[in-house]
Amino acid sequence: MASKIPGVAQDVMMKASKERLSGTPDEVSARLEKLCRELDQHEYLAGAGLRMLAVELTQRPNLKVSLVTYLNESHVPEGGQELEVIFADDPQCEPVMIDRDHIGQHCQVTWDRWLSIGDDTEIQAAADMIASILNTCARFGTKKAGAATAGAEA
Protein backbone atom coordinates (compact mmCIF):
# COMPACT_ATOMS: atom_id res chain seq x y z
CA MET A 1 0.00 0.00 0.00
CA ALA A 2 1.41 3.42 -0.95
CA SER A 3 2.02 5.94 1.82
CA LYS A 4 0.13 9.26 1.63
CA ILE A 5 2.20 10.88 4.36
CA PRO A 6 4.48 13.72 3.14
CA GLY A 7 8.16 12.85 3.42
CA VAL A 8 7.52 9.11 3.55
CA ALA A 9 8.70 7.06 0.60
CA GLN A 10 6.00 6.00 -1.81
CA ASP A 11 5.77 2.45 -3.10
CA VAL A 12 7.06 2.56 -6.64
CA MET A 13 6.26 -0.14 -9.14
CA MET A 14 9.15 -0.58 -11.56
CA LYS A 15 8.14 -1.63 -15.05
CA ALA A 16 10.43 -3.53 -17.34
CA SER A 17 10.52 -4.91 -20.83
CA LYS A 18 12.45 -8.02 -21.80
CA GLU A 19 13.67 -8.68 -25.33
CA ARG A 20 15.19 -12.01 -26.34
CA LEU A 21 18.39 -11.54 -28.35
CA SER A 22 19.55 -13.95 -31.03
CA GLY A 23 21.05 -13.99 -34.51
CA THR A 24 24.37 -13.14 -36.08
CA PRO A 25 26.62 -10.64 -34.29
CA ASP A 26 25.53 -7.93 -36.76
CA GLU A 27 21.84 -8.72 -36.24
CA VAL A 28 22.17 -8.68 -32.45
CA SER A 29 24.15 -5.41 -32.56
CA ALA A 30 21.51 -3.79 -34.76
CA ARG A 31 18.70 -5.00 -32.46
CA LEU A 32 20.52 -3.68 -29.40
CA GLU A 33 21.06 -0.29 -31.05
CA LYS A 34 17.33 -0.07 -31.76
CA LEU A 35 16.45 -1.07 -28.18
CA CYS A 36 18.90 1.45 -26.69
CA ARG A 37 18.20 4.48 -28.88
CA GLU A 38 15.87 6.10 -26.32
CA LEU A 39 18.40 5.99 -23.47
CA ASP A 40 19.92 9.27 -22.36
CA GLN A 41 23.45 9.90 -23.65
CA HIS A 42 25.27 8.87 -20.46
CA GLU A 43 23.35 5.60 -20.19
CA TYR A 44 23.86 4.84 -23.87
CA LEU A 45 27.62 5.46 -23.74
CA ALA A 46 28.11 3.62 -20.44
CA GLY A 47 26.15 0.65 -21.81
CA ALA A 48 28.49 0.01 -24.77
CA GLY A 49 30.45 -2.73 -22.99
CA LEU A 50 27.27 -4.44 -21.80
CA ARG A 51 25.95 -4.44 -25.38
CA MET A 52 29.22 -5.94 -26.64
CA LEU A 53 29.01 -8.62 -23.93
CA ALA A 54 25.43 -9.37 -25.01
CA VAL A 55 26.58 -9.89 -28.60
CA GLU A 56 29.33 -12.26 -27.43
CA LEU A 57 26.98 -14.24 -25.18
CA THR A 58 24.39 -14.69 -27.93
CA GLN A 59 27.01 -16.54 -29.98
CA ARG A 60 27.18 -19.29 -27.34
CA PRO A 61 24.65 -21.92 -28.52
CA ASN A 62 23.97 -23.19 -24.99
CA LEU A 63 22.82 -19.77 -23.72
CA LYS A 64 19.63 -17.74 -24.11
CA VAL A 65 20.21 -14.00 -23.68
CA SER A 66 17.64 -11.25 -23.07
CA LEU A 67 17.99 -7.49 -22.60
CA VAL A 68 15.92 -6.20 -19.69
CA THR A 69 15.12 -2.48 -19.85
CA TYR A 70 13.56 -0.66 -16.91
CA LEU A 71 10.90 1.87 -17.87
CA ASN A 72 9.31 4.95 -16.30
CA GLU A 73 5.56 5.53 -16.09
CA SER A 74 5.52 6.68 -19.74
CA HIS A 75 7.19 3.41 -20.83
CA VAL A 76 10.37 5.29 -21.73
CA PRO A 77 13.71 3.70 -20.76
CA GLU A 78 14.88 5.31 -17.55
CA GLY A 79 18.44 4.54 -16.66
CA GLY A 80 18.59 0.84 -16.35
CA GLN A 81 19.36 -2.11 -18.53
CA GLU A 82 20.77 -5.49 -17.67
CA LEU A 83 21.20 -8.86 -19.30
CA GLU A 84 19.39 -12.03 -18.32
CA VAL A 85 21.19 -15.21 -19.35
CA ILE A 86 19.89 -18.74 -18.96
CA PHE A 87 21.31 -22.12 -19.85
CA ALA A 88 19.21 -23.31 -22.78
CA ASP A 89 19.34 -27.01 -21.88
CA ASP A 90 18.20 -26.59 -18.27
CA PRO A 91 14.80 -24.89 -17.89
CA GLN A 92 15.06 -25.34 -14.11
CA CYS A 93 18.28 -23.30 -13.89
CA GLU A 94 17.85 -19.83 -12.48
CA PRO A 95 18.93 -16.94 -14.73
CA VAL A 96 22.21 -15.11 -14.36
CA MET A 97 21.64 -11.35 -14.24
CA ILE A 98 24.39 -9.04 -15.52
CA ASP A 99 24.42 -5.35 -14.63
CA ARG A 100 27.10 -2.71 -15.15
CA ASP A 101 28.67 0.06 -13.11
CA HIS A 102 27.77 3.71 -13.74
CA ILE A 103 30.65 4.29 -16.19
CA GLY A 104 30.39 0.96 -17.96
CA GLN A 105 33.84 -0.44 -17.20
CA HIS A 106 32.76 -3.39 -15.04
CA CYS A 107 29.81 -5.73 -14.88
CA GLN A 108 28.31 -7.50 -11.90
CA VAL A 109 27.10 -11.06 -12.32
CA THR A 110 24.32 -12.12 -9.96
CA TRP A 111 23.03 -15.65 -9.65
CA ASP A 112 20.60 -17.08 -7.12
CA ARG A 113 20.61 -20.85 -7.02
CA TRP A 114 18.83 -23.01 -4.49
CA LEU A 115 20.73 -26.19 -3.68
CA SER A 116 19.33 -29.18 -1.84
CA ILE A 117 21.15 -30.04 1.39
CA GLY A 118 18.77 -32.63 2.83
CA ASP A 119 21.21 -35.52 3.05
CA ASP A 120 24.93 -36.28 2.84
CA THR A 121 24.87 -36.80 -0.95
CA GLU A 122 23.13 -33.46 -1.55
CA ILE A 123 25.50 -31.69 0.84
CA GLN A 124 28.50 -33.13 -1.02
CA ALA A 125 27.03 -32.05 -4.39
CA ALA A 126 26.33 -28.54 -3.05
CA ALA A 127 29.86 -28.24 -1.66
CA ASP A 128 31.32 -29.43 -4.98
CA MET A 129 29.27 -26.88 -6.94
CA ILE A 130 30.22 -24.01 -4.61
CA ALA A 131 33.90 -24.93 -4.74
CA SER A 132 33.77 -25.24 -8.53
CA ILE A 133 32.16 -21.81 -8.91
CA LEU A 134 34.69 -20.15 -6.63
CA ASN A 135 37.58 -21.94 -8.33
CA THR A 136 36.38 -20.74 -11.74
CA CYS A 137 36.00 -17.18 -10.44
CA ALA A 138 39.51 -17.25 -8.99
CA ARG A 139 41.02 -18.52 -12.25
CA PHE A 140 39.30 -15.88 -14.38
CA GLY A 141 39.93 -13.13 -11.83
CA THR A 142 43.70 -13.66 -11.90
CA LYS A 143 44.02 -14.21 -15.64
CA LYS A 144 44.94 -10.60 -16.38
CA ALA A 145 47.32 -10.27 -13.43
CA GLY A 146 48.91 -13.65 -14.20
CA ALA A 147 49.69 -12.62 -17.78
CA ALA A 148 51.40 -9.44 -16.61
CA THR A 149 53.67 -11.31 -14.17
CA ALA A 150 54.32 -14.49 -16.18
CA GLY A 151 57.79 -13.36 -17.26
CA ALA A 152 58.79 -12.45 -13.70
CA GLU A 153 58.34 -16.03 -12.48
CA ALA A 154 60.80 -17.59 -14.93
Residue 146: its pLDDT value, please? 41
Of the ranges 36-40, 115-119, 120-124, 139-143, which one carries the lowest mean pLDDT score? 139-143
| C-alpha angle 32-83-9 in degrees, rounded to nearest 5 | 110
- pLDDT, one tens digit per residue, over 129-143 is 999 999 998 888 754
pTM attached to this predicted model: 0.74
How far, in whole angstroms, is CA 77 from its chain's centroid? Answer: 17
Rounded to an integer, what distance in angstroms lies between the CA atom of residue 17 and that of residue 14?
10
pLDDT band of 40, cuts 50, 70, 90: confident
pLDDT band of 2, cuts 50, 70, 90: very low
Q: How many CB atoms lie within 10 A of CB 31?
A: 20
